[in-house]
């Protein structure tokens, strides 16, 4: 069954409950089968399925979906990441997943859809029903937050890249 593993990962992330995720996955695939005539040939089938999955989840959790907004606090946190340390290396899988888990959910969501499930910005925008610019902004902030989280962890534990200079808004590194 193509795409099922990918859909299940997204469903599990959305629901945070294995049984709920299995229900959601099943409903999504049933819905996809019954409305397959709506699938535009030549487009990304997995992105189409993820869109249905989000729609089904919204139907299941109408209230939660309504409240699915980026809080001002989260936006403010993200805005404070102008300083960007170099991307750390030599991290374990657990450390990377832990850092992802600590991101605000709004940013986790787009990082998962873009960097793990490899959906395009346009596909993510269509799935989340937000403008492409919003997706790009969230992804950019999400990735920065993730790197900052990992860099902070690496510094605290004394590993990671140390030869890189740091970037500040005022001082460009160099201009080749």
Partner 1 sequence: MQCREFREIADSYLSNELMVETNHGVITHLEQCAECRQELKARRELRGQLREAFIKSPENQLRPEFAARLSTQLHDYSLGKRGAHLVSPRGWRSSVTRTQATWLALAACLLLAMGMGLVVVRKRLVESKAPGEIAVSKPKPNDSPELNPGIPVSIVKTELAKSAVGDHRDCAIKFRLAEKPIDLEVAGQKYDPVYLNLTKAVLSQQGAAPLDAQFVEAHSCIFEGRRFAHIVLKYHGQVVSFLVTDFEPTNGVQPESGPQVITCSQFDGYKVSCFQTARHAVFIVSELPEGDNLALARALAPSVFAHIMSTENET
Q: Is 157 in the site for partner 1 (CB under 8 A)?
A: no
**Gap between the terminal Cα atoms of the chain:** 50
* Interface region with partner 1, contact rule CB under 8 A, candidates 43-51, 71-79, 113-121: 113-121
Report the C-alpha dihedral over residues 28, 29, 30, 32, rounded to 10 degrees.
90
Q: What is the spatial distance between Cα 59 and Cα 15, in angstroms, rounded to a whole number?
A: 13
Percent helix, strand and coil across the chain, each rounded to 5?
65, 0, 35
Is 37 a residue that touches partner 1 (CB under 8 A)?
no
Residues at the interface with partner 1 (CB under 8 A): 1, 4-5, 8-9, 12, 18-19, 22-23, 25-27, 29-30, 33, 58, 62-63, 65-67, 84, 86-89, 91, 93-94, 96-97, 100, 111-112, 114-116, 118, 120-121, 129, 136, 139-140, 143, 146-147, 150, 161, 164-165, 167, 169, 172-176
């Amino acid at each position: 069954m193509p795409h099922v593993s990918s859909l299940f990962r997204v469903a599990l992330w959305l629901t945070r409950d294995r049984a709920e995720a299995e229900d959601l996955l099943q409903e999504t695939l049933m819905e996809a089968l019954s409305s397959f005539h709506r699938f535009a040939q030549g487009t990304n089938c997995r992105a189409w399925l993820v869109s249905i999955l989000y729609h089904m989840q919204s139907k299941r959790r109408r209230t939660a979906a309504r409240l699915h907004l980026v809080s001002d606090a989260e936006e403010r946190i993200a805005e404070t990441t102008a300083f960007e340390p170099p991307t750390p290396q030599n991290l374990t899988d657990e450390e990377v997943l832990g850092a992802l888990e600590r991101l605000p959910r709004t940013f986790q969501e787009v990082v998962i859809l873009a960097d793990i499930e490899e959906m395009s910005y346009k596909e993510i925008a269509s799935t989340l029903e937000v403008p492409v610019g919003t997706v790009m902004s969230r992804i950019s902030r999400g990735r920065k937050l993730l790197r900052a989280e990992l860099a902070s962890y690496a510094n605290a534990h004394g590993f990671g890249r140390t030869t890189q200079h740091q970037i500040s808004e005022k001082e460009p590194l160099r201009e080749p």
